[in-house]
Chains A and B, each alone.
Chain A
Amino acid sequence: MPKTPSPTARKSRKQGRRSPLATISLLAVGLLFTGGAFAAFSTSTASAETPAVVSAASVEDGKKLFQANCASCHGLDLEGTEDAPSLIGVGAAAVDFQVGTGRMPMQAHGPQAPVKPVQFTDDQIKSMAEYVATTAPGPGIPDESLLDGEGDVANGAELFRINCAMCHNVAGAGGALTEGKYAPALTGVAPEHIYEAMVTGPQNMPVFSDANLSPEEKRDVISALKFMEANPSPGGHTLGSLGPVAEGLFLWIFGLGSIVALTVWITARSN
């Protein structure tokens, strides 16, 4: 996923629903992070336009790429080894998520695969996904209509709180799991990756099959997350949305710190 906003993204931002007054005030304050988030959202929507046709050539490319980059751990026939799980039946969604977020190929063994710069081009990832999908049926790459962020935000937010917030935090800021594992932050994650994570349950994340959260409900959850991203906190800087710990530390260091500095000035002898 490219990090820099593409020209199309900028265009789409200009056409956004935001009122001009709001834009002016935001610019005036110099808080520009909305731009990045909104742009990331827009580009990823664009990149999800996957042609439904699976070409044999592409699958062949994918197989070669797989054998060169993945087979040493996952096995030549996707059967898995001691080091890595079998990929039979994980579907194109799993490949797109794992490789598309840079989690795979893994660099070193750790409690879990971290997000890294993506190693392959979109086409290469697509080829590998198609290859893995041809071996056994599994969840596919989601349809773009589910990723548009136009779902029911209120329903999505409630489902997010019940099904996701315990690990990912109510604001999607991430949280700790056992033995050094963690639930990553969800800000800036492309909608298709969020969707794919829900269907495939990467690593220790549980699977949210369509019987658990219907595709429409998944769309709502993504919409709620994207709403949060697109609308910066009305109260000002969020301090990482980490809750009372961040607030307490900030208060002690910067709040009380600046007040103590002022007491020193107040009681210092004037020269």
Chain B
Amino acid sequence: MNTVTAPAEPTTPTPTKKSGGFTATASNYIDERTSISTAVKELGRKIFPDHWSFLLGEVALYSFVIILLSGTFLTFFFQASMAEVHYEGSYVPLKGIEMSAAMASTLDISFDVRGGLLMRQVHHWAALLFVASIGLHMLRIFFTGAFRKPRELNWVIGFVLFILAMAEGFTGYSLPDDLLSGNGLRIIDGMVKGIPVIGTWTSFLLFGGEFPGTDIVGRLYSLHILLLPAIILVLIALHLLFVVVHKHTQFSGPGRTQQNVVGYPILPVYAAKAGGFFFIVFGVVMLIASLFTINPVWNYGPYDPSPVSAGTQPDWYIGFADGVLRLAPSNWDIVLFDHTFSFGILIPLAVVGLFIVLVLIYPFIEGWITGDKREHHILDRPRNAATRTAIGSAGVTFYAVLWAAASSDIIATHFKVTMEGVIHTLQVLLFVGPVLAYFIAKRTCLALQKKDRSIALHGYESGRIVRLPGGEYIEVHEPVDEYERWNLVGHESYQPLMIRPNSRGRITVAQRTRAALSRWFFEDRIDPVTQGELESSHDHH
């Protein structure tokens, strides 16, 4: 634009200026430089379906924002150094004690910076909430089948975020260099040393020499505030981009199909609800942080390799890994060819690793078994995918047993049982529990499907008994209306795969495996009610 031509051609700006005030001018200014109107046009009225469980991912996102905000505040005061100082701050029981600068600055944040303890507690509580909400969000995705095509890759991204969140948590937990975190690091050191071939050197490099060294806090700090958050931010952006590309899934309901999304537009309703929800999550975290202590480092004192506290546990999200270590039997090491194989550590790690990999690739396994290449935007009710729900229940039980094992000592003292009894019980439950959970969940799902069928066909039991003229007693069933019925019948089922020879007349191993898995998945199935069945049932009445 040059000044000579501008008065000659009074184009778009002029009418806008007339009709609007500052807002219009500013919008115009920005749009002419960013083309933001395109984004508003595309996204402003984008529809987002409404269901409480669709907000769980938002809880995770908001917790992360809270963590970034409170964490930034903490970085202004925290010193990630293991240089030895004599504590001379306000907390009397640690006065004059030698500790690292990291620990001393954490105590200063807690006792000498106004609002510092509050921010520390907000940061830590939000971190626990971050991982917990990711976990719950993943369970929702899993049990409703939201990971199916086209969202398999987004499941993988989300799962990687879950792992990274745990890494963030663990690195943060270790930073204050207190007794609890120091013993946590010592456990990590012991586990790393157990890795064949590279273990000893990996530990040596990680700690910058012998454990504990003077480097680890600084190194974890770099990971904690720089590398990991950067990766998490990028992956969250990618995760959300995919949500926009795929559009959100929705539950089955009258009028909802695979080709539409029904809900509220981002502007204004969704912005109000989701924006408000951010403040609600922040408010809840703030309330908890102002009322409940978390990680009282002043009790633990500085790290010293000699002391340890009863009830030394990691934060909840690392619990499963701690639990699996506790469940290993005694004396599992083997010395072979002049080298030690620490099976007491390796086998538990392998079990957890296998579990993680299975969860990570589950969408691809299920996709391969069903061979279903369609896009799925309508969520399954968990009961309508009985085998998946059963597998999920087994997985949750497995995880829960490991998790419980991490607090075996606290279970023992609080339920007045022996810790040996708790461990032995959990060792058995680790294998039996998932199997039981599998069958219970599967049977429950199938029973619920049958109930749905019967309600769709015959209506609800009204509890009213009527005597017919012929003397027969019947219970009157109240029919469901068509909208409600649709919720009960609007799904598909799968049937087991039949083995067929391929084009070269062979039956491959992959085929057999797939057929076997397919039989396992879909042998017990209940077909949804069809139009024909509905009509004949109406005729019957």
Contact = CB atoms under 8 A, between A and B. Distances in A.
Interface of A: 111, 153-154, 156-158, 161-162, 165-171, 173-180, 182-183, 224, 227-228, 233-239, 241-252, 254-256, 258-260, 262-264, 266-268
A65 to B, nearest CB: 31
Max chain B C-beta neighbours (<10 A), residue from A158, A173, A243, A256: A243
Most-contacted residue by chain B among A175, A176, A178, A182 (CB, 10 A): A176
B311 A245 contact: yes
A262 B280 contact: yes
Contact of B310 (A166, A249, A254): A166
A249 B290 CA distance: 18
B129 interface: yes
Contact of B121 (A167, A174, A235): A235
Contacts of B319: 244-245, 248
B307 A161 contact: yes
B62 to A, nearest CB: 9
Nearest to B312: A243
A166 B180 CA distance: 11
Nearest to B417: A180
Interface stretch (B207-215, B346-354, B404-412, B426-434): B404-412
Contacts of B307: 161-162, 165-166
A168 B409 CA distance: 12
A97 B143 CA distance: 56
A167 B93 contact: no
Given A180-B417, A247-B316, A251-B132, 15 more contacts: A154-B93, A157-B93, A158-B301, A161-B179, A166-B308, A178-B419, A180-B419, A235-B292, A236-B291, A242-B410, A243-B313, A248-B128, A263-B277, A264-B52, A268-B52
A46 B179 CA distance: 36
Contacts of B365: none
Contact of A228 (B93, B410, B417): B93
B300 A170 contact: yes
17 contacts: A154-B95, A158-B97, A173-B311, A175-B311, A176-B419, A228-B93, A234-B117, A235-B121, A235-B293, A236-B290, A239-B292, A242-B311, A248-B319, A255-B125, A256-B132, A256-B136, A259-B280
B306 interface: yes
Contact of A161 (B54, B273, B301): B301
Given A158-B301, A244-B315, A245-B311, A255 B296 contact: no
Contacts of A174: 310, 413
Contacts of A182: 412-413
Contact of A247 (B54, B294, B300): B294
Nearest to A111: B418
Nearest to B290: A236
A157 B301 contact: yes
B129 A255 contact: yes
A224 B407 CA distance: 27
Interface residues of B, number: 71
A266 B55 contact: yes
B412 A180 contact: yes
B125 A233 contact: no
Contacts of B312: 243
A255 B277 contact: no
A180 B95 CA distance: 37
Nearest to B55: A263
Contacts of B179: 161, 165, 170
A167 B419 CA distance: 14
B416 A168 contact: no
B97 A175 contact: no
A270 B340 CA distance: 65
Nearest to B416: A180
A227 B91 CA distance: 11
Given A157-B301, A161-B179, A227-B93, A178 B284 contact: no
The 9 closest A-B pairs by CB, nearest first: A175-B310, A248-B316, A235-B293, A176-B409, A180-B418, A157-B93, A170-B309, A263-B52, A263-B55
B39 interface: no
A244 B94 CA distance: 22
A244 B316 contact: yes
Given A111-B418, A153-B92, A266-B277, A167 B55 contact: no
Contacts of B308: 165-166
B436 to A, nearest CB: 23
A233 B52 contact: no
Contacts of B409: 175-176
Nearest to B90: A234
A258 B284 CA distance: 8
A169 B310 CA distance: 4
A266 to B, nearest CB: 6
A239 B421 CA distance: 26
A248 B314 CA distance: 10
A236 B413 contact: no
A236 B293 contact: yes
B282 to A, nearest CB: 11
A266 B273 contact: yes
A242 B52 CA distance: 33
Contacts of B417: 180
A255 B92 contact: no
Nearest to B291: A236
A153 B93 contact: yes
A256 B311 contact: no
B288 interface: yes
B110 interface: yes
